[in-house]
Amino acid sequence: MLLNPFPLLIISLFLVYLVTKWIYKPCSKKILPPSPPKLPIFGNLHQLRALTHRSFQSLGRKYGPVLLLHFGSKPVFIVQSANVAMEIMKTNDLIFADKPTSRSTDKLFFGSKDISVAPYGEYWRKMKSMCILQLLNAKRVQSFRSIREEETSLLMERIKSTTSSHLPVNLSELFLSLTNDVICRSAFGRKYTNGKFGKRFPMLLKELLQLLGGVNIGEFIPYFAWTDRFSGFDAKVDKVAKEFDEFLEIVIQEHMNTGQDKGDAVSKEEKSRESFVDILLKIYKDNVTGVYIDRDNIKGIILDILAGGTDTASAALEWAMTELLRHPTVLKKLQKEVREILEGKKDITDNDLEKMHYLKAVIKETLRYHVPVPFLARVARDNTKIRGYDIASGTLVIINAWAIGRDPASWIEPEKFKPERFLNTSVDFRGQDFGLIPFGSGRRGCPGITFAMASVELVLANLMQKFNWDLPDGKKGEELDVIEHPGVTIHRKNPLFAVATECCLTCF
């Protein structure tokens, strides 16, 4: 009689399972970071709120400065410690040299042909090197000084026009307009305030940043990818990508045409000055750096500059003025420094700015307390260990720069706005001090730090030099809210209004 082989097979498989689970368990067990309980399918997504950086901070208080979450089935390693951030962005920088991508970023950034999300490799290294050498070096940033000065002067005139009537000015709106105009003139050689894209362009940029800051469920839970179509997310991505492609194609064509028209009321100096697009087109045509780029590369790089340069600088100015208005003593101390150094001069030079140590301290404290971009995201390119924990290849790593800036392990009284903490110290925001990393660090650190900070310093110094400031309706500083609006860049939820009083330059 033949025996039924099925029970024997089951017993054999069971024995193999036991051997695998128990005999080899010590050799194969992974040590994972602390992790809160998760739901089937959704993982920890249900524990996140609109202000995700605060959700992470709250979880960190319970589970520690490093923790493992799951967005759907995607493992996400959350880092909220300066020391661990250094281990990732310095000690193991190469392993974490990739940035996360998605279907939406691929569409928005022309097939990831930009610099911000392109995968690490030969192409990315050449593109970043080219951008630093050709577009964002100190000499190039200096060449755009007249643009910063002219746009800052226009901002001061707009504010001055309100002083006689004592009407409050919307500083949030003015800062966004100023940084947008500086970027457009530097990138394109002209402002796009009129024509087909005049009013649409700022809104288009805002929509791009909202899409980048949103969480689309379909990216983490493929079974629910249909919800992105149903909610209109996919349609919005397609629409914004198409409009930016159309806009940037027009810009490129303008610059390629002989005798290009850079718009009305443009000076001879500006017509002769090379914009970012001009420089990229020269590389495109002549292969002057040995780097081959096509039109999509140009569009992607310009989009990086637009998105990164406009929103972060305006957010920094918005939060700096918010905290100055909330802390009148700090405001008066900064005004005193600026006015004493300038001694009644109308124009502010780079030499003047270098002497304004308290101004630089205020900016550093603003970037610590209100880091414009709260998250620095990386992807593990290989299996590795961080602080003894196993991090699998492909794990999304989110460094919460906002929480690190408010970590008691790195800062004394971190929840207080105290610029004095940065006086007589070499701590800086350029990526070497990991308690203060608003621009990231390592290979994927932001290359546009010098460009962004040049505008912030000049504008803030002018605001302190030329005007005295109060809140509308006799409000006190402590009554001014600091409610945040979620997004890839954190702005105020409510626009910042303030009343300016013109200050006579001869009576300082």
> 507 or 332, which is more confident?
332
Architecture of the domain delimited by 95-373+405-507: Orthogonal Bundle (1.10)
Residues of the chain with CATH 1.10.630.10: 95-373+405-507
What mean pLDDT value characterizes the chain?
88
Interval 174-223: pLDDT, tens:
999 999 999 989 988 888 766 666 677 778 888 888 888 777 778 888 88
pLDDT, residue 196, reads 66
pLDDT, residue 424, reads 92
| Stated pTM of the model | 0.90
What's the mean pLDDT in 248-268?
A: 66
Q: What is the CA radius of gyration of the chain?
A: 26
User: From CA 220, how far away is CA 175, in angstroms rounded?
Assistant: 35
Using alpha carbons, select from 76, 115, 113 the residue that is nearest to residue 219.
Answer: 76
C-alpha distances in Å from residue 59, one per residue of 79, 204, 237: 11, 34, 31
Distance of CA 369 to the CA centre of its chain: 15
Which class is domain 34-94+374-404?
A: alpha beta
C-alpha distances in Å from residue 48, one per residue of 53, 110, 216, 395: 9, 30, 13, 19
Residues of the chain with CATH 3.30.43.20: 34-94+374-404
pLDDT bracket for residue 288 (50, 70, 90):
low
| 498 sits in which H/E element | strand 497-502
* Angle between helices 295-326 and 328-342 in degrees, nearest 10: 110
User: From CA 67, how far away is CA 80, in angstroms rounded?
Assistant: 9
* Residue whose structure tokens are 């502010």: 348
At 98, which amino acid appears?
A: D
pLDDT, residue 16, reads 43
Helices (H), 287-389: 295-326, 328-342, 350-355, 357-369
pLDDT at 50 over 50: yes
